[in-house]
Structure 1
């Protein structure tokens, strides 16, 4: 029978993170506790792959969310490169409906988990992640979690409203995912800050929660167009492509018949027809924040996490998918 780190932790009466620190010779562990772990390993006949035996090259799980946005892939690609240049071994498991892929890397001896997600993972080894910009937007971090930066994703709505209002739009809709913490936050912010909040009791009708897909975006765009919305703010890149597709299929055009603002920039949305107005984030700053968290956990040279995590705010990139409302 294969012996796992869970077996060792149970035998030694310690947490998985303690076993990981002993295996990787990383982080503080009392000598008496470390000896209990080593004794449990010997009793259970546990041995590690020779590829993982060296502690000079720690293993990190650089985790991409299921169905990620482009900005998340961009950030993680930069983190992965930065860690490898420091001699850190990296694996890139996906965080799906369960954590099976991540736990497989933990079982292989990962010293930490790094992810651009904003919600807790509740792992037994250190997790470096992002959080919402407002403390009220963020769940309490798990004890093993380090918040590398606060990302003002929901604050992007304020910029979108300001931009669209300045060019005459009042009937502004929201296309968001049909589940998820960020979708819930976007909907709450939409209802609170909408330019028509004081004059329209039916703003809920201008929110279209749909699957994170091109077809979902297309259906939502046509539904909001039928409700006489003149502009939409779109959470997902896939949904944004769907907005363009759905409007074209009806023989209409963006932005003449419906202006669109996307959340998150990428090379592809810069070359849609027309190029999409977006709320972008500085991927380099975000990647450095996660990398600094990894340096803190692994004790690597260079700047570690500051006492107060930085807040990364969106930047409006105005392109030709938004224009003044037609009177």
Structure 2
């Protein structure tokens, strides 16, 4: 059975952060505590020789999804820049299904992983990430942030609030048959589906909501497939998770000689400069990228016990804001 940092911490009766300090050779740890950790390492059979040697600087993995959204890349870049400015080394990786690149960085001495995703990561160092605002941890809360298992939630993203904004906007325009285009896999896609079913404005009036969800590949062609399917299911408006899918939705309408928003209103998730230059400019649920970046950096400071502002005892909640442009209009009677 693979031994984790949590096992060592439990055996030594210290925190995971203290174990991480001993392994990395950095930070202040009492001699007696250090000796207790080393005895626990031997007792539970935990070895990682590269971390037992002092390193010139702390290494942090900055992980993005394999097919990241623009906002996730923006946050990753911001986190890497901030951490480097504070004297840390960063290793940018993509979070593959087997986490091979992440594990390679950990084997090379990475002390933590930080990622603008909702995905739980099974690795042997602390993970700083996001969670959906409706998901609350039942585990005891430490001095800073919310800890879920071996992971630290630096901020909550209010998907429910974002979908509510989109529903309110589209409902005010007369739309009732509102569909969802989401990725075919991933924690964010699953949570969007759950909130879509729970928050849809006509959830008590129709049994067709499942037909109005298109879980498709996170791609341009996936967007074309989804738009075609949902338009045939009589949807008059769509909420779209991925930018690539959104571009495909627009293309599908052109292929059918239909027009956005006359024949189909579209709301995207996450803003970028390209969203303002689609034809027509896309209405989107924008996110606070600088705020989310700051929250993740504060999480890394807390986990690694670094100077500066750490995680709050109650992590901030970020709610998307609706940026109404020209891809939404009144439903046709």
Q: What's the TM-score once normalised by structure 1's chain length?
A: 0.86
Distance 1:306 1:240 in 2: 35
Is the Cα contact below 8 Å between 2:50 and 2:108 reproduced in 1? no
Question: Matched residues in 1 for 2:280 and 2:48: separation?
Answer: 63
Q: Which residue of 2 aligns with 1:171?
A: 177
Matched ranges for 1:1-327 at <5 A: 20-26=20-26, 28=29, 30-36=33-39, 53-55=54-56, 57-135=57-135, 142-327=148-333
Q: Give distance in 2, aligned partners of 1:86 and 1:133.
A: 29
Secondary structure of 2:181's counterpart equals: strand
- In the TM superposition, residue 221 of structure 1 has moved relative to its aligned partner by 0.6
Matches of 2:48 and 2:190, distance apart in 1: 48
Q: Is the 8 A contact 2:48 2:107 kept in 1?
A: no
Secondary structure at the residue paired with 2:226?
helix
In 2, distance between residues paired with 1:146 and 1:157? Answer: 25
> Helix, strand or coil: the match of 2:155?
strand
| 2:171 counterpart SS class | helix
CA shift for structure 1 position 38: 9.6
- The 1:163–1:48 alpha-carbon spacing in structure 2 relative to 1, beyond 3 Å, is closer
Distance 1:290 1:16 in 2: 19
Distance 2:148 2:122 in 1: 6
93-102 or 192-201, larger mean C-alpha shift: 192-201
1:34 positional shift:
4.7
Report the Cα distance in structure 2 between the residues aligned to 1:85 and 1:315, rounded to whole angstroms: 30
Unaligned runs of 5+ in 1: none
Shift of 1:123: 2.1
| Mapped contact 1:17–1:125 kept (Cα < 8 A) | no
Report if the CA contact (8 A) 1:120-1:142 is conserved. no
Q: Which moved more, 1:141-150 or 1:305-314?
A: 141-150
- Measure the CA separation in 2 of the matches of 1:208 and 1:299: 44
Distance 1:85 1:321, change over 3 A: same
Taking structure 2 as the reference length, the TM-score comes to 0.85
SS of the equivalent of 1:90 reads: strand
The worse-fitting range, judged by mean Cα deviation, of 28-37 and 100-109 is 28-37
Gaps of 5+ in 2: 140-146
**Count of residue correspondences:** 312
Report the Cα offset of residue 18 of structure 1: 7.0
Whole-angstrom distance in 1 between the partners of 2:49 and 2:60: 21
**How far 1:126 moved relative to its partner?**
1.1
Question: Per-residue deviation at 1:269?
Answer: 1.3
Answer whether contact 1:26 1:298 (CA < 8 A) is retained.
no
Does the 8 A contact of 1:20 with 1:109 survive in 2? no
Residue deviations 1:130-169 (CA, integer Å, cap 9, x gap) = 1110136x79754331110011124311110000011111
Q: CA deviation at 1:271?
A: 1.1
Distance 1:317 1:274 in 2: 14
Cα drift, residue 61 of structure 1: 0.6
Give the distance between the partners of 2:219 and 2:118, measured in 1 at CA.
Answer: 21
